[in-house]
């Protein structure tokens, strides 16, 4: 659900969704998008009733960057989309350029 919300959020902001759940070696890229002329890998973290940003740990960042090394062309950056699900709906935060 979080990835679908993130993809819709990015598409509303003129990002072209190129791939979802892209397997690369032993890793996976949640979303691969093009924002203007920039190729971006997007990691999506979703939590119910909590801030999902803490789920993007240094270990997870290492796995994402390792997966990127196998892609051609290689994305120029990694963005994080944090989706917090609450009784009121979804709170979506886009954090560009995470490590």
Digit-coded pLDDT (tens) for 30-61: 999 999 999 999 999 999 988 999 999 999 99
Taking residues 8-37, report their average pLDDT: 94
Cβ contact 66:75 at 8 Å: no
The residue range of the domain holding 8 is 2-95
Total number of domains constituting the chain = 1
Output the domain CATH number for residue 47.
3.40.1350.10
- Predicted pLDDT of residue 35: 96
Q: Which stretch of 6-15, 32-41, 67-76 has the lowest confidence by average pLDDT?
A: 67-76
Cα→Cα distances 49→8, 36, 68, 91, Å: 21, 33, 30, 10
């Amino acid at each position: 659900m979080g990835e679908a919300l993130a993809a819709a959020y990015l598409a509303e902001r003129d990002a072209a969704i190129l791939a979802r759940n892209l397997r690369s070696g032993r890793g996976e890229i949640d979303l691969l998008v093009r924002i203007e002329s920039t190729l971006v890998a997007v990691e999506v973290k979703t939590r119910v009733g909590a801030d999902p940003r803490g789920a993007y740990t240094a270990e997870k960042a290492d796995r994402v960057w390792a997966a990127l090394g196998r892609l051609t062309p290689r994305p120029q950056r990694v963005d994080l989309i944090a989706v917090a699900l609450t009784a009121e709906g979804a709170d979506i935060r886009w954090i560009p350029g995470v490590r």
